[in-house]
C-alpha cells in the first residue's frame, strides 16, 4: 500500500470515534511499519502495522503473538499496579481482513517528551526528580510479584493474559523477529533459571548459525561454538544460584530505552511506552534505564564501533544520578538494588547475546574471567 492509501485506511479504522489530522512514517522493522498519527483534540498515537503479513504466514503469526502480548501486558499492569503510567490502547486487530490488510496495534502516546529530547531542557533538580520517578516505577513493578505468596510458583516468560482471578498467565518469552525466526520451537515458559539460561544459549547458537557471515566460515562457526562453551562454563560464577531471593520470579518492564520513557516539563515521568512485561528471575528483572548505563554493551570498551553512540548525559551526571536511582528504588523495594548488583554480569552477558554483538561478547567474557581470577 502507498502512504496515501495507508493513511486513508487508518482513518477508516478510527472513524467515526476519531478524526485523523495527519499521518507520518515513524520507522520500519522487519515485517512492521510504524506510523505517527495526530488526531483531533491534540491526541498523538503510534500505530504499528504488519506490512507484509498476507505474504508471510510465519511473520503474521509472530506479529499476532507480539501484539497480543503487548496488550495483555498493558492490561495487567494497569489493573495490578495503577501507579505505573502505561499507555492507553486505542485499537488492536490481529487479523488481515481490515483496511490496512494486516494486524495492527494503535496506542496513545504518553504525556511529555522522549527522555533524550527532554533532558537538555532540565536542570539537575529536575533530572533528579525524573530519576526518582523512574526508579520508583521500576522498583514498584519489580516488587509487585515479590509480595504475592502465589507468585513463587510462576514460571519465567511473557505476560500473555490473566485468569478469572486476575492472576497472570505466563506465555513464551518475547523475541525480536531476528531471534524469533531462528527458533524452531516455542521458548518457554521456563520453570527455573537454569532452564531459562540454557534456552538463551541455545537461541544464541541458532542465531549465529543463521548468520551467513558466520555459517559460511568454518573458522567463524567454531569460534562462536567455543565462545558459547566458555559462556556456559562461566554461568555458575555469575549466576546467584545460592540466593533463593535472586532466582525467584519477579516482574520486569523490558523496554528501558530513552525513547520509551516520556518526561514532563518539570522532570516528572509522564509515561512509559515500552509495551511488554515479562516474568524473569529477580536478578534479571531489576535493571537500569539506558541513560544511566556505562556498563556492558553500553561501555566504550565493548560497543560496536560501526554503531554511533551519543550519551544522553555526561559521565559525572550519570554517576550522581545512579546513586539517586539506587536510593529511590531501595525505598520502594530494598531487594531491588541487591538484584541490580548480583545480576549485573548475567544481564550484561544476555544483552550481548541478544544483540548478536559477538566481538564485544568475546572481549567482555575475557575481561570477566580476568576479574574473577583477581
Q: Which residue has the higher pLDDT, 51 or 157?
A: 157
> What's the confidence (pLDDT) of residue 52?
74
Is a pLDDT exceeding 90 seen at residue 206?
Answer: no
> What's the confidence (pLDDT) of residue 46?
93
Q: Which residue has the higher pLDDT, 173 or 263?
A: 263
Is a pLDDT exceeding 60 seen at residue 180?
Answer: no
What average pLDDT does the structure give for the chain?
90
- For the residues 340-363, what does the mean pLDDT come to? 94
> What's the confidence (pLDDT) of residue 4?
83
> What's the confidence (pLDDT) of residue 146?
84
pTM to 2 decimals?
Answer: 0.91
Is a pLDDT exceeding 90 seen at residue 167?
Answer: no
Residue 228 CA to residue 223 CA, distance in Å, equals 9
pLDDT digit string (tens) for 51-102? 876 778 888 888 888 899 889 999 999 988 998 898 899 999 998 889 998 9
> What's the confidence (pLDDT) of residue 217?
93
Highest mean pLDDT among 46-55, 222-231, 309-318: 222-231
> What's the confidence (pLDDT) of residue 183?
43
> What's the confidence (pLDDT) of residue 184?
44
Confidence at 361, pLDDT banded by 50, 70, 90: very high
The answer to whether 238 touches 346, Cβ cutoff 8 Å, is yes
Is a pLDDT exceeding 70 seen at residue 149?
Answer: no
Residue 17 CA to residue 129 CA, distance in Å, equals 37
Confidence at 182, pLDDT banded by 50, 70, 90: very low
Amino acid at each position: 500500500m502507498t502512504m496515501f492509501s495507508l493513511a486513508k485506511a487508518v482513518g477508516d479504522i478510527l472513524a467515526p470515534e476519531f478524526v485523523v489530522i495527519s499521518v507520518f512514517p515513524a520507522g520500519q522493522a522487519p515485517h512492521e511499519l510504524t506510523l505517527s498519527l495526530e488526531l483531533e483534540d491534540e491526541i498523538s498515537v503510534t500505530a504499528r502495522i504488519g506490512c507484509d503479513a498476507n505474504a508471510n504466514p510465519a511473520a503474521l503469526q509472530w506479529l499476532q503473538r507480539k501484539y497480543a502480548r503487548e496488550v495483555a501486558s498493558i492490561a495487567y499492569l494497569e489493573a495490578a499496579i495503577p501507579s505505573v503510567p502505561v499507555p492507553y490502547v486505542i485499537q488492536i486487530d490481529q487479523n488481515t481482513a481490515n483496511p490496512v490488510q494486516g494486524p495492527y496495534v494503535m496506542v496513545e502516546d504518553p504525556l511529555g517528551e522522549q527522555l533524550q529530547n527532554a533532558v537538555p531542557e532540565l536542570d539537575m533538580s529536575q533530572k533528579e526528580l525524573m530519576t526518582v520517578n523512574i526508579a520508583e516505577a521500576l522498583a514498584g513493578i519489580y516488587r509487585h510479584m515479590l509480595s504475592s505468596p502465589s507468585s513463587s510458583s510462576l514460571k519465567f516468560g511473557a505476560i500473555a493474559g490473566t485468569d478469572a482471578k486476575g492472576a497472570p498467565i505466563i506465555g513464551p518469552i518475547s523475541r525480536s523477529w531476528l531471534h524469533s525466526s531462528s527458533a524452531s520451537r516455542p521458548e518457554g515458559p521456563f520453570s527455573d533459571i537454569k532452564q531459562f539460561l540454557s534456552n538463551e544459549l541455545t537461541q544464541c547458537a541458532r542465531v549465529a548459525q543463521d548468520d551467513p557471515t558466520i555459517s559460511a566460515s568454518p573458522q567463524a562457526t567454531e569460534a562462536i561454538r567455543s565462545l558459547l562453551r566458555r559462556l556456559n562454563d562461566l554461568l555458575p560464577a555469575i549466576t546467584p544460584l545460592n540466593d533463593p531471593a535472586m532466582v525467584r520470579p519477579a516482574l520486569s518492564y523490558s523496554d528501558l530505552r530513552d525513547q520509551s520513557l516520556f518526561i514532563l516539563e518539570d522532570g516528572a515521568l509522564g509515561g512509559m511506552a515500552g509495551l511488554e512485561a515479562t516474568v524473569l528471575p529477580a536478578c534479571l528483572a531489576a535493571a537500569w534505564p539506558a541513560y544511566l548505563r556505562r556498563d556492558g554493551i553500553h561501555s566504550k570498551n565493548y560497543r560496536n564501533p560501526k554503531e554511533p553512540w551519543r550519551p544522553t548525559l555526561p559521565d559525572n551526571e550519570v554517576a550522581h544520578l545512579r546513586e539517586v536511582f539506587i536510593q529511590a528504588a531501595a525505598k520502594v523495594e530494598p531487594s531491588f538494588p541487591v538484584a541490580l548488583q548480583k545480576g549485573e554480569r548475567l544481564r550484561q552477558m544476555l544483552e550481548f547475546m541478544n544483540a548478536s554483538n559477538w566481538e564485544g561478547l568475546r572481549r567482555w567474557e575475557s575481561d570477566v574471567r580476568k576479574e574473577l581470577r583477581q
